[in-house]
Amino acid sequence: MSDQKISFFQSVLDYFDAAAPFTGHPDGLLDQIKACNSIYRMNFPVRIKGEYKVIEAYRVQHSQHRSPTKGGIRYSMHVNQDEVMALAALMSYKCAIVDVPFGGAKGGVRINPWEYEPEDLEKITRRYTMELIRRNCIGPSVDVPAPDYGTGSREMAWIFDTYRTFAGQDIDAAGCVTGKPESQNGIKGRTEATGRGVFYGIRECCSFEDDMKKIGLKPGIEGKTMVIQGLGNVGSFTGKISQDEGGVKIIGVGEVEGYISNPAGIDIHELLAFRKEHGTMLGFPGAESFGKEAREKCLELECDILVPAALENVINKENASRIKAKIIAEAANGPITSAAQLILKERAVVIIPDMYLNAGGVTVSYFEWLKNLSHMRFGRMEKRFNENINKTMLEVVEGATGKSVSERDRKIIARGADEIDLVRSGLEETMVTAYQQIRAVYEQHPDVPDLRTAAFVVAINKIASDYLALGIFP
């Protein structure tokens, strides 16, 4: 059977089943971990332009081994029950890998958001939120949504406002949803979080000399070539941060209108400005352009690092043998089918798995949730204290050495950490530690075939320990 016919959720189950034998847990416990606990399908009417339209929507809570459950809401015509179940399951494993104390959940509304005016999207979002409230599927201690494909801070603000209308006595109401605007109890760094996490994950993968030697690359991320498929939030921030902070050369970019390539390099900032002005990236100066009919071909460009940052199943049994990248960094959810992975493994392609690599969003969402529950921004207590301590240390050093520090260096050394600095530091620590845990399993167990399997082993073991601590599986 062609892997195009294998459902997204079935692919997740295949990956789970491949990892389960390495954990040693009993079948009953494994069955509980991989099952979706609650599946809600909703159909609700919304009046749009004088006519009622029935909207199909979902919320799946995969696992309550930790509370609340956590997961984004996507608006797309591709939304269906199987997809939302798969994404919810991945959220459970993702949260476990990066030690974020949430169970996994996901939501979806089956619409094309670009076909609606903002006021109509607001009606749909608020009505969807009401449906979640009715089913007790939202709340800071119950289930906490976040942005996903087709949604952003605007939609999260509407959700927050609707929730607090019905839960006005909840002092922690701001924690009912994350990804909110900074002005409405959001957190600095949330918009860039997933892309920045992708960068940290790729950088950590490339830092191991032995691993890079196996695929013919030098250690370190600087100078490596990258192709990005998808210029949404995740792809654009991955590109900008990889280029600016990692010294990566971006040689190809794919989007819905086609793809462009330039072996000499593409400045991602100039490309984003060009696309914003012209509505397309085709025709970008210095790059060769290919139309919509060839848009998937960008995946087959020769490069060191391929970043699929769009939708699932874009690398499948049909095109896997034509992939020329040495590292595939899964910024999107489920971009590689289980059948394609087998082909890529035979060709020694390193796959950094999605359930780890795109966990930056949920990590910083966790920071936002903590901020909302504490009712205080990060850095408020310690910023000035640390700044004063650093200034005192500088004065001591200057007095002892007789040398003065320039005003510019003084500002850099003495400054205390702002919220954005602490968020980035926490995210970097999370992504580096999680990768090292995954790699340790991969290195210590010769029979574990790849990093994805190792990531599932890590996730299953952490979730299993929660169930065992509850005494459900003595």
Residues designated as active site: 106
CA–CA dist 387, 364 (Å, integer): 24
Partners of 261 in the β-ladder: 252, 288
CA–CA dist 95, 105 (Å, integer): 10
Q: Is 103 helix (H, G, I), strand (E, B) or coil?
A: strand
Please report which helix (H) or strand (E) contains residue 462, including its range. helix 451-469
CA–CA dist 202, 238 (Å, integer): 10
CA–CA dist 360, 331 (Å, integer): 10
Cβ neighbours of 104 (radius 10 Å): 30
CA–CA dist 391, 463 (Å, integer): 45
DSSP character for 23? Answer: T
Joined together, the tokens standing for residue 429 give 């620590």
CA–CA dist 396, 28 (Å, integer): 63
Query: In three state form, how does the secondary structure of 341-408 look?
Result: HHHHHHCCCEEECHHHHCCHHHHHHHHHHHHHHHCCCCCCCCHHHHHHHHHHHHHHHHHHHCCCCCHH
CA–CA dist 436, 434 (Å, integer): 5
Residue 322 phi, psi dihedral angles, 5° rounding: -100, 0
Q: Which residues of 134-164 are buried (b: 16+ CB within 10 A; e: fewer)?
A: eeebbbbebbbbbbbbbbebbbbbbbbbbbe
